[in-house]
Amino acid sequence: MARQGLSRALVAASWLAEAVRAGRVGAGLRVLDASWYPPKERNARQEFKERHIPGASFFDIEECRDKASPYDFMLPSESHFADYVGGLGISNDTHVVVYDGDEVGTFYAPRAWWMFRAFGHKEVSVLNGGFKNWVKEGHPVTAEVTQPTPAVFKARLNRALVKTFEEMVQNVSSLKFQVVDSRPEGRFRGTELDQGLESGHIPGAVNIPFHSFLSETGHEKSIEEIQEIFREKKVDLSKPLTATCRKGVTACQIALAAFLCGKRDVAVYDGSWSEWFHRAPPHYKVSELKRSKA
């Protein structure tokens, strides 16, 4: 079977199951569970200990982040990322497959996928359909936690894939790149709270909720369907594009969807609405609720 992942952002569960059966999960192929849930709802690390894909390691997004930042899940430094993934047995030659256990199919895995790409790693794939479908299809799970042999990973941040607050502010007037917001419509429009924050969006942004790209089963939709979604929203994949959301997580679903269509340079605004809400001037926060009150 041809080795997927070198040129594709997605691998099928059947392909990964064959790799597990053939004993290929090891130095050349590493599997990461990148699940994260609100602490009061589910415990991602505990669920990993109870069952996961054989040979997988837990990618803790709480650990692999900039802990000095006031905003959730901001990218760590190059050295922090390199040390963390090196400890998971990943070198620059390793093919990495990421998944998560969210009920929608895929939620945090695209964030881990984008992080690897942001730090210069090209051989990284998302398990299509996630752990939910892995289990549904009857593939093996285990409670055995393996200890990978540490490896050396050299990270170099590709700044073209990351947008800062200052760049986003400049773009409001310059319109150098398109902005797509992956949050639910109510949060984008400002008609419902966004995890405790007043909601709204960056001026000029287009809303494509991330689940638009997922089928009812939790798999990625076809390339043709994804292209049509972008067309309907008048997003031109031949031009510069930046994705945003609440905290830089589901924005990575936009980057993944565009990548599947051949666009590999979508940037993510890492601070997203969490930062924008706290730092942007009031007239740069578009909210239908505020307009109706006015």
> Which residues does the annotation mark as catalytic?
245
8-state DSSP, 195? T
Q: Is 158 helix (H, G, I), strand (E, B) or coil?
A: coil
Q: Kindly list the distances between the CA atom of residue 9 and the CA atoms of 82, 139, 247, 249, 260, in Å, as whole numbers in the listed order.
A: 21, 21, 22, 17, 7
CA-CA distances (angstroms) from residue 24 to 15, 20, 148?
11, 6, 13
**264: amino acid identity, one letter:** R
Decide: residue 98, CB within 10 A, 0-12 exposed, 13-18 middle, 19+ buried: buried
Distance (Å, whole) CA 59 – CA 57: 6
DSSP 217-282: TSSBPPHHHHHHHHHHTT--TTS-EEEE-SSSSTHHHHHHHHHHTT----EEESSHHHHHHHHS-G
Tokens of 285: 């926060």
Query: 3-state class of 187 per DSSP?
Result: helix
How large is the angle between the packed helices 251-260 and 109-118, nearest 10 degrees?
70
Q: How far apart are CA 180 and CA 237, in angstroms?
A: 11
d(CA 130, CA 107): 9
Say if residues 168 and 276 touch (Cβ distance below 8 Å): yes
Three-state DSSP class for residue 214: strand
The size of the chain, in residues, is 294
